[in-house]
Amino acid sequence: MSVIPLRLLAGLVTALHLAGAGAGFPAKLTLERAVPVRGAPLEHLRARDGARHGRLLLGSSSSPATAAAGVVDFPVDGSANPAIAGLYFTRVKLGNPAKEFYVQIDTGSDILWVTCSSCTGCPTSSGLNIQLEFFDPVKSSTSTTITCSDDRCSYALQTGQALCSSSDFSSSLCGYSFQYGDGSGTSGYYVSDMMYFDTVLENEQTLNSSATIVFGCSNSQSGDLTKSDRAIDGIFGFGQNDLSVISQLSSAGNFPKVFSHCLRGSDSGGGILVLGEIVEPGIVYTPLVKSQPHYNLNLESLAVNGRELAIDSSLFATSNTQGTIVDSGTTLAYLAEKAYIPFINAILASLPSSVHSFALRDNVCFVTSDSVDESFPSVTLKFVGGASMLLNPEDYLLQQGSIDNSIIWCIGWQNNKGSGITILGDLVLKDKIFVYDLANQRIGWMNYDCSQSVNVSTASGKNEYLTAGQLDVSGSSDSVFSKLLLSSNNLLILTYILIIASL
């Protein structure tokens, strides 16, 4: 089987429109970019992150997929920079006729939900410079509602994660309600409809594919979800439970149970998101903690400038009140309370005299005119199995302004007060390849320039890779590679070259 190299240019979001199996001709791709919006103070980001941490994860039976095996490539926009967006989002096409929706990439929840028509309190405009849409099940010829008697609703009912009318159980809609810590939330009901995407097949052709999936239809939103500054059409949950899109598609055996992302950390943002396995030399893996609703990892220790902090490793052990979670739906990062002070003290002790520290609204901040990489220490997270995550200063710092020729930096890692939970959000996840290998229950990563090409396997567990400029792979009779080029009229041209080599 082969490895497909995919390339995404910095800050650009692409959508491939190829019809049929023989799509080998160049296709013109429009450029899109979110424009900057007003930044948010750290305390506002903490409140927003704290609210979304109350989201419930929903599991249910999966619906059959009707698409060919291969790698699904999703466009990515948004940025980890709170002054730009503070989130990453992609686009999905749903219904017949298909409509496109902007949805946040969220590894901390399970279901895909979008705003539906007649929604109460839902925003109608967005400061992210995107056009918000509403899904109308009545206007889609392939849409059906999920009732409480449906098997796909049964598990959620048993665990108290679905809402059904007891008076008319058989015909009532299978509903849901996600509540947030600040009182905001969303509720609605489940529908089944078509989802459309571009699939790169194992025979190295590209198809405009589709699958029938179950997703949420939100008809009510409250609290911060009603605000328009960073409004989107919904949430794309990439959790492990049966109702997530990744689980629904893989359950039919048509897609590997693995997905990957590479989120670009610069202000222009963007990145790569695929249902498939990014394969690059240097990716290290650590096992997922079993039987957890989130992507929990076994963090063993924390080091600053190579020096391990004196923190009892039992503090990071996974339980109902402790653990380390990977969550792309969180903007910042949150360190367990008992680990936070040792971490801050180690950072402060390693700073040169040219860096001046001060407190700003409960945040630890600094002023310096020197290079951030030269002035601040590196941080290393060490996980079970010998896997380490090396973090640069901008993986834990946020730029908050300037004074004359000096830059104000604040520590973006927050004290998760009263909690033993550590959450690795976009501040940490950016500028790295992350592979969620659910079939083998492990997560892998490596530092990476996410504006560069990546190599994606068409099957989980593939260990061959194709480097940039290489035309073939040993043991493979043919290979496709794609190049994204910036043309003079500001369009991206995606050229697929099919190389046929005899064995």
d(CA 69, CA 408): 49
Nearest to 260 by CA among 251, 271, 244, 245: 271
Bond from prior residue into 293 cis (ω within 30 degrees of 0): no
Q: Which residues of 461-481 are buried (b: 16+ CB within 10 A; e: fewer)?
A: ebeebbeeeeeebeebeebbb
Element (H, E) at 48: helix 42-52
Phi/psi at 161 (nearest 5 deg)?
A: -110, 15
Contact 355, 364 (CB under 8 A): no
Q: Exposure string (b/e) for 144-173, b if CB count within 10 Å is 16 or more?
A: ebbbbebebbebbeeeebbbbeeeeeeebb
Catalytic residue among 49, 77, 106, 224: 106
Residue with tokens 């979110």: 34
Confirm whether 106 is a catalytic residue: yes
Nearest-CA neighbor of 103 among 127, 81, 74, 80?
74
Q: How many CB atoms lie within 10 A of CB 383?
A: 21
Distances (CA, A) of 166 to 133, 154, 158, 160, 169: 32, 14, 14, 13, 5
The catalytic residue among 49, 224, 327, 437 is 327
Q: How far is CA 88 from CA 81, 245, 263, 265, 271, in A?
A: 10, 18, 8, 10, 9
Geometric angle at alpha carbon 429, from 221 and 361, rounded to 5° = 70
Active site residue 150: no
Q: What DSSP string runs through 239-286?
A: -SSTTSHHHHHHHTTSS-SEEEEEE--STT--EEEEESEE--TT-EEE
Query: What span, in angstroms and rounded, lies between the C-alpha atoms of 445 and 395?
Result: 14
Which residues belong to the active site? 106, 327
